Amino acid sequence: MAQAGVEHITADVTDGDSLKAAVSGVIDRFGRIDALVNNAGCGIFGAAEFTDIEAAERQFDVNFFGAVRLATLVAGHMRLNGGGAIVNVASLAAMMPLPFQSFYSASKAALLCWTRAFSGEVSRFGIRVSAVCPGDVRTGFTAARSFDGKGDGEYGGAVSRALAKAEASERRGCGPDVVARAIFRQAVSRRPKLVAVPGAGWSALDAVARILPRGLVSRLVGRIYA
């Protein structure tokens, strides 16, 4: 929500009043909002059985409800101004949930499902809502992820092994520029894909996974990460 030479307007996606103030500030300064990219997110890693519910709720508050709060605020403005674009950054984990990232996967799946439903509601107003679902990407998200090792002993060290595999895969992932280009294409396209998976390799994996039985896909993912 900023451009060269203009100070940034910051907000807390878990605070509705903060978001309202930020949206109002952007409209006051620029006159309108043509595009919104919901990219705020965080991750927790650990066995679901041992994850504190408070941590899981925080995961959803940032990854899902934060995006919903901002999208619905901006949609009201766009509806009155002839349309716009809303791009929600979900994850390939929304379609292929990851062991020991169950709450992260679930929060992104909720965002993806909500995106598809919300698109059907507001498209009549010229508001284009879509989701970008990246696979592994080389960013600071890997180091910033919260890891709770509780239960690792009970699971025979599977939690820590899965974390090591996930981090290694992310470090080998595509660059953030690949995802940025996909987001930009979605935002400026008059007919964006409802769901876009950036990167040829990840897009191919998604296509194959949609053909295979869901149970087989879950078993294969489990063997890779757990």
C-alpha distances in Å from residue 37, one per residue of 43, 71, 100, 129, 209: 18, 9, 27, 10, 27
- Taken in order 14, 15, 19, 25, the sign of the CA dihedral is negative
* 155 catalytic per annotation: no
Residue that is written with structure tokens 């996606």 in the block: 13
| Start-to-end Cα distance in the chain | 39
Query: Which residue out of 45, 64, 100, 104 is catalytically annotated?
Result: 104
Query: Can you tell me the distance from the alpha carbon of 96 to that of 119, in angstroms, rounded to the nearest whole number?
Result: 22
Identify which of 134, 159, 135 has the alpha carbon closest to the alpha carbon of residue 147: 159
d(CA 222, CA 14): 32
Residue numbers annotated as active site: 104
